[in-house]
Amino acid sequence: GAGVSQSPRYKVAKRGQDVALRCDPISGHVSLFWYQQALGQGPEFLTYFQNEAQLDKSGLPSDRFFAERPEGSVSTLKIQRTQQEDSAVYLCASSLERLANQETQYFGPGTRLLVL
């Protein structure tokens, strides 16, 4: 069956440009997560949605980062005025239930963002 998909897979942006990264979770999954993975590091939590509600955005690095999931399915992570330190792989994950503490999170392939 279809897994989590993300687009674009690769994005090159000039410093100062705005970018939008898309995530299509597994159909019917309630929970959706965004993670940021810098080169040589493990993924770090950015934000969490339960259906359309953004319940936790504590991991967003700055107010230039904004995420939404307006209809409780597809999600978009937007980065305004990109900086070089934003270069990373952005991973989206979804899980079936509300509480992920007993649930597997299924990850997409990621979007590799390079800011020049």
Partner 1 sequence: SQQGEEDPQALSIQEGENATMNCSYKTSINNLQWYRQNSGRGLVHLILIRSNEREKHSGRLRVTLDTSKKSSSLLITASRAADTASYFCATVRYGGSNYKLTFGKGTLLTVNP
Counting contacts by CB under 8 A, is residue 94 touching partner 1? Answer: no
With respect to partner 1, which residue has the nearer C-beta, 19 or 48? Answer: 48
Q: Are 36 and 64 in contact (CB under 8 A)?
A: no
Counting contacts by CB under 8 A, is residue 31 touching partner 1? Answer: yes
d(CA 47, CA 59): 6
Strands 10-13 and 111-115: parallel
C-beta neighbour count of 103 within 10 angstroms: 15
Counting contacts by CB under 8 A, is residue 25 touching partner 1? Answer: no
d(CA 27, CA 1): 10
With respect to partner 1, which residue has the nearer C-beta, 45 or 66? Answer: 45
Q: Which of residues 43-62 bind partner 1 (CB under 8 A)?
A: 43-45, 48, 56, 59
Applying CB under 8 A, the residues found at the interface with partner 1 are 31, 33, 35, 40-45, 48, 56, 59, 91, 93, 99-102, 104-110
